[in-house]
A and B are shown apart, each in its own frame.
Chain A
């Protein structure tokens, strides 16, 4: 096999020239473009990865914020609930206090009205009973009530036992008066008679003063330095008032039960 050495070396040179030209026109450019593209793609991927990581971080941050908000909301809700409960309790206490106060006021008013009522009742009843008694005595016994009352006082003084008289005498000091209070004006004749009876029964120099007072319920009161001889319709009226009270109380209780 013959080899032409000129052609052989020419082929070597040809190859070297081709190598140089391809390196200049092909490899450098193509590989440069490929590397640039790869770098660009890698940069895009890196950017995408960075964006993804940023998105993940944002998601985590948002989740954390959401949890915080949820926590804060729960806390706020619990606080608001607690405050509302406290406010409700406060309002309830206040309302209860107000109700108690109103009830107390009402009870006080009721008690006051009841007292006024009974006082008025006592006054009216006293007046009426006095008028009726007076009239009955007049009609049945042809007697004057005031005269009868004075007569009773006179009899009472006359029938005092010895100890009682002594006791009154000891109570009497110099210049001390015996005061007789009555709901009506004692006529002068009756006064003279009473004065006489008192002086005769207790002592001769005793001064007697007469006073008219509404406090003495259709009766009299004889006062000597703290000692007292009295008669009035007060006891009868007290009993009547008590009975009225019971009747009214029972009725109100029955009404309550019905309602």
Chain B
């Protein structure tokens, strides 16, 4: 018996336990599994952490991943990368591990459920003003909504919502469709193609995790840099700041 049947579009629909309005579905269970894996792995890896040049392979792997995430954040945020690092890093690691664990038979990525992607997108939605206000202050942050003039205010607000929706739907759509394509291929050609698609799925999972984290960082960074600062930096680098 399949955990997620072909007619069920996401693991949200696989309800394992329900007591009143409390629902425990497959999405939550797989999320806890990924969380448990990440937390236990982190504890194990960081247990024998070495500041010396010689280190364990796992520590090396984690350092490679985290230092790359950190440098990517640094390239986008320019300054204060470590401030954004826990949020963006957690987004990336959670989505990445949720996605790449799909090679385990029976596992369904929680990111292929709209509730998860929506929750993550809403997190980004709130993180943008929180980081922006922390960095610029309330007034300076709100001023950005009225640039270049007041007419643009509704467009900015619409932009905020639409990009949050786009974040949620992009990740959900990619992962969910991938799950469905594999399910369909298993039904049609159970031998060779599903394996190729699984391999492709790992790549898609990685890319989606990267896209989600980078976009979140770009949104936060754009909100955390004032208009004057952006212009100054653009002139300093001899080019205008790219459109977000």
| Residue positions of A touching B, CB distance < 8 A | 1-4, 6-12, 14-15, 17-19, 21-23, 25-27, 29-34, 36-37, 40-41
B53 at the A/B interface (Cβ < 8 Å)?
yes
Contact B93 A7 (CB under 8 A): no
Query: Which applies to chain A's interface (DSSP): helix, strand, loop or mixed?
Result: helix
Q: Which of B151-208 contact A (CB under 8 A)?
A: none
Can you list 25 A-B contacts with CB-CB less than 8 angstroms, sorted by A residue number? A3-B114, A7-B113, A7-B115, A8-B122, A9-B119, A11-B116, A12-B122, A14-B35, A15-B90, A15-B120, A15-B123, A18-B38, A18-B39, A21-B35, A21-B39, A22-B38, A22-B42, A25-B39, A27-B66, A29-B49, A30-B62, A31-B85, A33-B49, A37-B51, A40-B51
Contacts of A8 in B (CB 8 A): 115, 118-119, 122
Using an 8 Å CB-CB cutoff, how does the interface string of B33-61 with A read, 1 for contact, 0 for none? 00100110011011001111101000100
Contact A14 B67 (CB under 8 A): no
Contacts of A6 in B (CB 8 A): 21-23
Residue of B nearest to A21 (CB): B39
B89 at the A/B interface (Cβ < 8 Å)?
yes
Contact B120 A19 (CB under 8 A): no
Contact A11 B25 (CB under 8 A): no
Contact B118 A34 (CB under 8 A): no
Contacts of B85 in A (CB 8 A): 27, 31
Of B28, B59, B87, the contact of A11 (CB 8 Å cutoff): B28
Using an 8 Å CB-CB cutoff, how does the interface string of B102-118 with A read, 1 for contact, 0 for none? 00000000100111101
Contacts of B9 in A (CB 8 A): 1
Contact B35 A7 (CB under 8 A): no
B231 at the A/B interface (Cβ < 8 Å)?
no
A199 to B180 CA separation, bound complex (whole angstroms): 191
Kindly provide the distance from the CB of A191 to the nearest chain B CB, expressed in whole angstroms: 143
Contact A14 B32 (CB under 8 A): yes
Kindly provide the distance from the CB of A10 to the nearest chain B CB, expressed in whole angstroms: 6
Kindly provide the distance from the CB of A48 to the nearest chain B CB, expressed in whole angstroms: 15
Residue of A nearest to B41 (CB): A26
B94 at the A/B interface (Cβ < 8 Å)?
yes
Q: How large is the interface on B (under 10, 10 to 19, 20 to 34, 35 or more residues)?
A: 35 or more
A30 to B27 CA separation, bound complex (whole angstroms): 29
B12 at the A/B interface (Cβ < 8 Å)?
yes
B31 at the A/B interface (Cβ < 8 Å)?
yes
A26 to B32 CA separation, bound complex (whole angstroms): 17
Contacts of B28 in A (CB 8 A): 7, 10-11, 14
B234 at the A/B interface (Cβ < 8 Å)?
no
Among all A-B residue pairs, the 9 with the closest Cβ atoms? A11-B119, A36-B51, A26-B42, A29-B46, A25-B42, A19-B90, A23-B86, A7-B115, A21-B39
Kindly provide the distance from the CB of B131 to the nearest chain A CB, expressed in whole angstroms: 14
Q: A15-B120, A36-B51 are in contact. List 14 more A-B contacts (CB 8 A).
A: A3-B114, A3-B115, A7-B12, A8-B119, A11-B27, A11-B28, A15-B90, A15-B94, A19-B86, A22-B38, A22-B86, A25-B39, A30-B45, A32-B51
Contacts of A33 in B (CB 8 A): 49-51, 55, 59, 63
B82 at the A/B interface (Cβ < 8 Å)?
yes
Contacts of A25 in B (CB 8 A): 39, 42-43, 46
A76 to B122 CA separation, bound complex (whole angstroms): 88
Contact B35 A17 (CB under 8 A): yes
Contacts of A19 in B (CB 8 A): 86-87, 90
Contacts of B89 in A (CB 8 A): 22, 27
Contact A11 B115 (CB under 8 A): yes
Contacts of A12 in B (CB 8 A): 119, 122-123
